[in-house]
């Protein structure tokens, strides 16, 4: 497996590992979190990882911040109703606190969560027309167009500040990245890592399903004629949704 997955293996078991770069304080807090989880005290574990997240934000510790964000999502899934949908928007509150490059990773995570939601609920979208009251934070009211537009914008936003991302080594995020063997040279920087995550989405054929079979294109030479001739020309297309 390539450097392709942040531990957005959120919904499966995660190990409470630490690295040499992890301070004693973080080690103690993660140990408390593990103990709470082992006892089935999920709400207490959630409170602990929220505290770890705030501490990591204060310390500018990007790796611990992302790890704590991932565990927050995991525990919220376990204790809250409709948490999978709500968690997608909960990421907005984490992004608001984050600085680059943690912010970029969170945006990529949120894009993937939207994408996973679509893959798990695609049957609800394909016959859906735009609702008169589309709600910003209610994904159940969204159209396929809006969902794909949001995913695309998030993946693009995750690549902002390209020069900084290109100088940020991927091994800085060892606590939260699942690596394959002998693959670090393929994704040596955070920019490479995030770019390939976005590429996985943009190359997906499913995005083309929302496009019309006949897209409006201008191939009539009269489109470039003088104004009087252009105005008198009728352009035809089979794309009935085109704004022409």
Structural domain contains residue 196: yes
Token pair belonging to 236: 């035809």
Q: Which long-range contacts (CB under 8 A, 24 or more apart) does 169-174 make?
A: 170/3, 172/62, 172/63, 173/6, 173/62, 173/63, 173/66, 173/105, 174/19, 174/21, 174/63
* pLDDT tens, per residue, the chain with 244 residues: 333 454 444 333 344 544 444 588 999 999 999 999 999 999 999 999 999 999 999 999 999 999 999 999 999 989 987 777 888 999 999 999 899 999 999 999 999 999 999 988 887 776 666 655 677 788 888 888 889 999 999 999 999 999 999 999 988 887 676 655 555 556 789 999 899 899 989 987 665 555 544 454 555 665 555 555 655 666 565 544 343 4
66 touches 57 (CB < 8 A): no
C-alpha pair distances (Å), 189 with each of 89, 95, 98, 112, 180: 27, 21, 19, 20, 15
pLDDT for 19: 45
Structural domain contains residue 121: yes
Q: How far apart are CA 136 and CA 144, in angstroms?
A: 14
pTM score: 0.75
Structural domain contains residue 34: yes
Phi-psi category of 82—alpha, beta or left, where left has phi over 0 and alpha has psi -120 to 50? left
3 touches 108 (CB < 8 A): no
Structural domain contains residue 126: yes
125 touches 71 (CB < 8 A): no
pLDDT for 212: 47
The string of DSSP letters for 77-129 reads HHHSTTHHHHHHHHHHHHHHH--TTHHHHHHHHHHHHHHHHHHHHGGGTTTPP
Structural domain contains residue 232: no
Count CB-CB contacts under 10 A for residue 124: 14
Structural domain contains residue 67: yes
Q: Which long-range contacts (CB under 8 A, 24 or more apart) does 48-55 make?
A: 49/75, 52/26, 53/94, 55/25, 55/26, 55/29
Going by the DSSP 8-state scheme, the letter that residue 187 receives in this structure is S
Structural domain contains residue 239: no
pLDDT for 72: 94
Structural domain contains residue 228: no
The number of folded domains in the chain is 1
Token pair belonging to 97: 């606190």
> Which range of residues forms the domain containing residue 187?
5-210
């Amino acid at each position: 497996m390539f450097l392709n997955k942040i531990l957005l293996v959120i919904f499966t078991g995660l190990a409470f590992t630490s690295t040499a770069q992890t301070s004693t304080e973080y080690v103690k807090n993660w140990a408390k979190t593990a103990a709470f989880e082992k006892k089935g005290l999920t709400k207490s574990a959630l409170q602990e990882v929220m505290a770890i997240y705030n501490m990591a934000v204060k310390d500018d510790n990007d790796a611990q911040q992302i790890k704590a964000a991932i565990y927050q999502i995991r525990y919220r899934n376990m204790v809250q109703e409709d948490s999978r949908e709500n968690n997608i928007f909960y990421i907005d509150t984490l992004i608001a606190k984050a600085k680059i490059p943690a912010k970029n990773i969170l945006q990529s995570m949120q894009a993937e969560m939207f994408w996973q939601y679509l893959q798990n609920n695609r049957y609800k979208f394909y016959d859906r027309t735009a609702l008169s009251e589309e709600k910003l934070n209610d994904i159940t009211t969204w159209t396929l167009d809006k969902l794909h537009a949001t995913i695309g914008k998030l993946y693009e936003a995750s690549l902002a500040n390209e020069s900084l991302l290109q100088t940020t080594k991927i091994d800085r995020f060892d606590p939260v990245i699942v690596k394959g063997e002998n693959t670090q040279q393929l994704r040596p920087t955070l920019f490479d890592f995030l770019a390939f995550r976005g590429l996985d989405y943009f190359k997906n054929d499913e995005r083309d399903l929302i496009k019309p079979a006949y897209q409006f294109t201008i191939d009539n030479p009269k489109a470039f004629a003088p104004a009087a001739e252009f105005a008198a020309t009728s352009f035809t297309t089979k794309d009935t949704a085109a704004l022409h």
